[in-house]
Structure 1
């Protein structure tokens, strides 16, 4: 077995490495850019090598249908086993209702540059789910945005089934579906949500080229159609998009990255993204190898050389080459605060009672009445180079289910642990929020509370009537840039055991920090960008406003940024 350090570099679990070596399969040396954790730490999880054996056996009974490999057995490459098939089909746990073991992973996301065998991999998985997964009446579908695109997915799979001598006795390939007679199962292609919902009792689904889907209708129809199955599998398979925000692709890709970073936890979802970073030389062969796990076979070296040459001669071809062949989202926004730096500032923790009577500054982000409301209190030390931070976060109780969906179920945990409070009904209960804010004003020495003057409400009027020190604050670059930069500076300055922006590891705020994107103007000023952030950033907006008031209270001293460069990591 390789060392733990080597397995970490390869992003291969000990269980998968053992399986491959025990079967004489070499370990691949092409780790994905992003890989979510395997569910090995889930209580009761076990790795079942015989299940993976069965999948590989089914693949071996299939035959390639095109090119120089036509007619030969479909033997998965080591990287496909290490990073897709073994993790997805090997990890199981006991279903107490069934009294049997079932797969843990029910959602699979695979992102690959073109010509790396996505269709063949998806086809093998589709046929396995239809014919060999032990599921009676399995309904497995391939979904795409148009009939033609659905055909592009389905036709290669039908050809796989039709060309396999071992399957001829068991399956009947038709024009629009593949039938498995013994179990009454079928595989077919669809191109709209209506088809997905009609009689849906899905055991499996393959959603091709997710970046082409303009809305969630079809995706949600598939994801909600598996409720009666014990071990369904929905597979998303795609190339990268150009970096558009708030699309079905962006939501899934962002979630996979957050799971890979540990910002969220969901053992039922597994994903890999093969790509390089914008810092890699796009014309170096080593870069091509990093992005393309099938490099040298498919895509061939010659093919990528030709595409790279085209890219060198045309800006339009360069953008296409970066996206389609290196997996780079060409308009992707840079991360402003890295989670590792944020986590270093969690601190050992402190008791809110110790803050009683301390001067502090508040930021109130009212947000949408049916979503989140955030209040941040910033407590500076005497030198104003360290802060202790606390947040009050509220959401209507009717919004909790939607928030759970966006946070892999974490929102309910935040409520249970006290980081997030729910208010009755489907809109924010401002009376409830007002009472808690005024209680804090009684406890702390509140100097000012900033709020967005363009998003004020009756709540603000009520607070002013109660003599709360409310201060309007614009949300433009002029007001937001200095505190936003200061938060980044303090985050980078802080160290484990010596936090500069101590936040007690608030997990709800951590999620929003991970979502943060910033807008920048021509002069280098920055501000939080709600439109382009991955998801909610209300707690960050509230923090920026609180820090802004703390900085303003220091008086007209020279800004740090007048003599130092902007820091964006």
Structure 2
């Protein structure tokens, strides 16, 4: 099992070489490490030279932070008292965070958020302790650096690491350094460095330039994140770094939402130039008992973590269930949950094609709350090849559109631009606009049935019945939707659900999680982030319950493995 490790100090060239080795397949790497490395190489070799691209890579700035961190000393283990040696993956992280800057103003860093998921024993506290000292010394005058955690002792781990580094390293590296009871200062620049927790007496009045959440996945209280993030509007170029190992139940936490968002950016579902993600974890479908997969989660293998150590714990995990859960979560960064992603976005993208709207049309209405997104989805078909065609139009009140969370506004705007999202006047759902849309659709399409759930839909349903449409009630429960959910999943894998590749609809598909009960019935539902909508997909499933029933009886659907 080859790894790219060094017994000398890393450079920017090593960081770039690391990305090349990942992309070329010279290193075994997780899916999203490959994607982030590919983005980096594309940007550094091509995109940065385009006039419309805001950012450039400054190797000098990247080298400065990498070199500084490696002048400080290790404070733990056999290497204590010797200069830190960053491994190429760590240099890759720092090179991205500090090397990418605005072409017009190099004091503005490209990445405002870094999401780093890495296995236990990777040396992350050493890296963060050194980085915090770098900011304390080199950040603009009056800057604040904070580490955060739910408990004070956890928040102080990196803070204490920085202090011990300063005490054991050349004092010329930290001019103006002064430690008080609850903060570290650079008296020459009035920069200060503190550790915050839920118990901290003062959380307001901050103006944070660098925020560090060590073991971010273990933080359950969103308020702590929100306090720090809201303070970062004041500094010129703030940055927040989430770094963590896997944690039990983390799929319901703030970090997982950030990780999911970053992955969607790398998948091309969302656009966000200012988030950086290194997700070191085994991939879906990997055998957790295969020792060869360890390197996907542990980039420091052979340095701070030995393969023998992993083998020992793996043998115990194979026979002791409680150890297995801990091994898979903390050593492989596998999120173990009762829910999983429903359909892989790569499988979905393979179904892109031209929608045939001359086929029989079955509509699904997912109306939901009166002040939120609603969807009218169409299932056309089947065509002569037994395939169904999917399209959808969503509606959102103007007030809800304006007040949408910051991280979904770009995708809402993309929906408006593509015509898949219609913004209606007022603060509540505009049933008249939805009714008019369906009337217009029926002028050019053969609408056979309209499927609906009777929750919050009776008035519009009665109006559509008066218009002469055949209305079919589809309860949104497992009994009604489990069979068609399984069928649609098979059809997507077989290339039998054609769509036009719209980003807004793909985003909703990517938000779908599937819950499985003890009887292996399944139901699609949204994840923890309620702003990540799935209405168009639910409406499509409702439409497919009737479209699939009314297909010619000779049609069958089998999953053909690739």
State the partner residue of 1:94: 103
Unaligned runs of 5+ in 2: 5-9
Contact 1:116 1:293 in 2 (8 A): yes
> How far apart, CA to CA, are the structure 2 residues paired with 1:102 and 1:191?
28
State the shift of 1:293 in Å: 1.1
Matches within 5 A, 1:350-369: 355=357, 359-369=360-370
Contact 1:32 1:272 in 2 (8 A): no
State the partner residue of 1:71: 81
TM-score (norm 2): 0.86
How many positions carry a matched residue from both structures? Answer: 537
Query: Cα distance 1:331–1:115, how it changes in 2: closer, same or farther (>3 A)?
Result: same
Contact 1:244 1:331 in 2 (8 A): no
Instruction: Choose from 507, 510, 528 the match for 1:511.
Output: 507
State the partner residue of 1:48: 58
Query: What SS is found at the alignment partner of 1:453?
Result: coil
> How far apart, CA to CA, are the structure 1 residues paired with 2:440 and 2:174?
74
Whether 1:58 and 2:47 are equivalent positions in the alignment is no
Give per-residue Cα distances to partners, 1:513-561, cap 9 Å, x unaligned.
Answer: 1122223345544332346799321111111111111122237x37847
Instruction: Choose from 81, 88, 93 the match for 2:91.
Output: 81
Greater shift in the superposed pair: 124-133 or 313-322: 124-133
State the shift of 1:229 in Å: 2.1
State the shift of 1:413 in Å: 2.6
Contact 2:222 2:254 in 1 (8 A): yes
State the partner residue of 1:536: 533
Query: What SS is found at the alignment partner of 1:140?
Result: strand
State the partner residue of 2:183: 177
> How far apart, CA to CA, are the structure 2 residues paired with 1:138 and 1:257?
30
RMSD across aligned C-alpha pairs, in angstroms?
Answer: 3.2
Instruction: Choose from 157, 161, 168 the match for 1:156.
Output: 161
Contact 2:15 2:91 in 1 (8 A): no
Contact 1:27 1:79 in 2 (8 A): no
Contact 2:339 2:515 in 1 (8 A): no
Query: Cα distance 1:303–1:59, how it changes in 2: closer, same or farther (>3 A)?
Result: same
Query: What SS is found at the alignment partner of 2:103?
Result: strand
State the shift of 1:408 in Å: 6.6
State the shift of 1:48 in Å: 0.6
> How far apart, CA to CA, are the structure 2 residues paired with 1:212 and 1:244?
7
Matches within 5 A, 1:14-53: 19-20=13-14, 29=27, 31-35=29-33, 36=36, 37-38=39-40, 40=44, 41=47, 43-53=53-63
> How far apart, CA to CA, are the structure 2 residues paired with 1:390 and 1:280?
33
TM-score (norm 1): 0.85
Contact 2:257 2:529 in 1 (8 A): no
Query: What SS is found at the alignment partner of 1:293?
Result: coil
> How far apart, CA to CA, are the structure 2 residues paired with 1:467 and 1:198?
59
Greater shift in the superposed pair: 543-552 or 285-294: 285-294
State the shift of 1:270 in Å: 0.3
> How far apart, CA to CA, are the structure 2 residues paired with 1:236 and 1:221?
15
Give per-residue Cα distances to partners, 1:423-477, cap 9 Å, x unaligned.
Answer: 2233322232222223323342211110113443432233333333221112233
Query: Cα distance 1:61–1:349, how it changes in 2: closer, same or farther (>3 A)?
Result: same
